[in-house]
């Protein structure tokens, strides 16, 4: 552990001006990072090769900032080890980094579960542990982080249900895709304030809840690709007036396209492909002013109203293959 003498050389202020509590915070940063270094088993790009000595602010991937209550003191405020290909796990001592606001660990080989001591990180604003090998149920410890606004846990091995409490937190972005989540999409989905929600490639199932209408003031991107969704698309989707991207492809959605979607004036990309939808493709959707990509292939639509039959005429990319539209090429056969 770094001695008080060494630490005071790093932070050149008179001892009488440094409270024991602040000195303890500086020591805690050192203890936490040294504990982490001990449980890193592979570091092919040598991210942590200079993690030695008491001046943690010189460590690769470690970013310091003035302490909120005493600007003569600097503490660890950010960690960025993205794309390090580092193997190891997260030790309990990470909960000592109480000044941490950003933790970015994208694209490594960290495994195991998130330690409960992370609940001590009351200033943590962004947590990105995507593309690792974390396991277990949804990491409930993130629900106890009062300052968290960005959550990215995609491409891991988390499993089980998504907790409804996730959608009660004031998050700006929720990325939980490419895990092993099951059960159903929580009914309080619309309680969230996020602008981006990505559920893709899980096995959540069920229908989109009507509460999604409550997302209207914030939601801009919703990706539900390959999540085992069933039932019809709720008319409440049409209330999401800020929506720019909606992708519900590769599910088991049935029924028609809700006519309420004609109200999505900001919509740029709409993907309904690879479902079991039927009926008419309404022209009101096809003439949305910002629509540039519309995919409704591999369904059972039987009519394309007006300009929907040739969206290239308005400069949009579209895919209507494998439907049941008379006279159009690449449609389903009568036996399909």
Confidence of residue 251 (pLDDT cuts 50, 70, 90): very high
279 forms bridges with which residues in the sheet? 301
CB 154 within 8 A of CB 177: yes
Cα(66)–Cα(56) distance, integer angstroms: 14
DSSP 8-state secondary structure symbol assigned to residue 70: E
Q: What is d(CA 155, CA 106) in angstroms, rounded to the nearest whole number? A: 10
Q: What is the pLDDT of residues 228-241, one digit of tens each?
A: 999 999 999 999 99
d(CA 261, CA 271): 13
- Please tell me the predicted confidence (pLDDT) of residue 241: 97
Residue 2 pLDDT > 70, yes or no? Answer: no
Q: Pairing relation of β-strands 173-175 and 180-181?
A: unpaired
* pLDDT in the model for residue 13: 46
Torsion of CA 253, 254, 259, 263, to 10 degrees: 0
Q: How confident is the model at residue 1 (pLDDT cuts 50, 70, 90)?
A: very low
φ/ψ of residue 282, rounded to 5? -75, 140
84 dihedral zone (left: phi>0; alpha: psi -120 to 50; beta): alpha
When the pLDDT of each residue in the chain is averaged and rounded to a whole number, the result is 92
* Gyration radius of the chain over CA positions: 25
Sheet (strand 300-304) strand order: 230-232, 252-255, 276-281, 300-304
**What average pLDDT does range 237-256 have in this prediction?**
97
- 3-class DSSP state for residue 157? strand
How far apart are the C-alpha atoms of 308 and 249, rounded to whole Å?
19
Q: Is residue 196 predicted with pLDDT exceeding 50?
A: yes
More confident residue, 11 or 238: 238
Residue 19's pLDDT is 57
Q: Residue 11's pLDDT is what?
A: 46
Tell me the average pLDDT across 190-204.
Answer: 96
CATH superfamily of 158-335: Ribonuclease Inhibitor (3.80.10.10)
Instruction: Please state the rounded mean pLDDT for residues 16-24.
Output: 62
Average pLDDT of the segment spanning 131-160: 98
pLDDT confidence bin for 336, thresholds 50/70/90: low
Mean local confidence (pLDDT), 22-46 = 93
Task: Provide the β-strand partners of residue 58.
Answer: none
Dihedral sign (CA 231, 232, 234, 237): positive
The token pair that represents 75 in the structure block: 């503490």
SS3 276: strand
On whether the CB atoms of residues 25 and 18 are closer than 8 A, the answer is no
Q: Delimit the domains of the chain by residue range.
A: 14-126, 158-335
Please say whether the beta carbons of 57 and 79 come within 8 A: no
The pLDDT tens digits of the residues spanning 40-77 come to: 999 999 999 999 999 999 999 999 998 876 677 889 99
CATH class of residue range 14-126: alpha beta
Spatial neighbors of 158 by CB under 8 A, at least 6 apart, are 134, 135, 136, 137, 138, 139, 176, 179, 180, 181
Q: Residue 273 and residue 276: Cα distance in Å, rounded? A: 9
């Amino acid at each position: 552990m770094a001695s008080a003498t060494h630490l005071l050389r790093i932070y050149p202020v008179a001892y009488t001006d440094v409270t024991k509590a602040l000195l303890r915070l500086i020591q805690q940063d050192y203890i936490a990072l040294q504990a982490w270094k001990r449980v890193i088993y592979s570091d092919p790009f040598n991210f942590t090769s200079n993690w030695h000595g008491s001046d943690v602010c010189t460590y690769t991937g470690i970013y310091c900032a003035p302490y909120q209550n005493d600007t003569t003191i600097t503490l660890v405020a950010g960690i960025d080890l993205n794309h390090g290909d580092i193997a190891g796990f997260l030790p309990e001592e990470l909960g000592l980094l109480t000044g941490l606001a950003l933790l970015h660990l994208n694209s490594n080989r960290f495994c195991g579960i998130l330690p409960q001591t992370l609940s001590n990180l009351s200033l943590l604003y962004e947590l990105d542990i995507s593309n690792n090998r974390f396991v277990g149920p949804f990491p409930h410890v993130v629900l106890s982080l009062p300052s968290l606004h960005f959550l990215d846990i995609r491409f891991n091995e988390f499993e089980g249900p998504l907790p409804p409490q996730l959608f009660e937190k004031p998050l700006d972005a929720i990325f939980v895709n490419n895990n092993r989540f099951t059960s159903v999409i929580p009914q309080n989905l619309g309680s969230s304030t996020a602008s981006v929600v990505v559920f893709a490639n899980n096995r959540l199932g069920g229908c989109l809840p009507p509460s999604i209408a409550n997302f209207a003031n914030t939601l801009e991107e919703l990706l539900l690709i390959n999540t085992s969704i069933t039932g019809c698309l709720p008319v409440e989707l049409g209330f999401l007036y800020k929506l720019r991207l909606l992708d519900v492809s590769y599910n088991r959605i049935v029924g028609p396209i809700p006519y309420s979607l004609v109200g999505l004036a900001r919509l740029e990309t709409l993907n309904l492909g690879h479902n079991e939808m039927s009926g008419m493709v309404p022209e009101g959707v096809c003439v949305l002013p910002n629509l540039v990509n519309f995919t409704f292939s591999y369904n059972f639509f039987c009519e394309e109203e007006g300009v929907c039959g040739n969206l290239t005429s308005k400069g949009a990319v579209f895919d209507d293959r494998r439907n049941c539209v008379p006279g159009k090429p690449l449609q389903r056969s009568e036996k399909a």
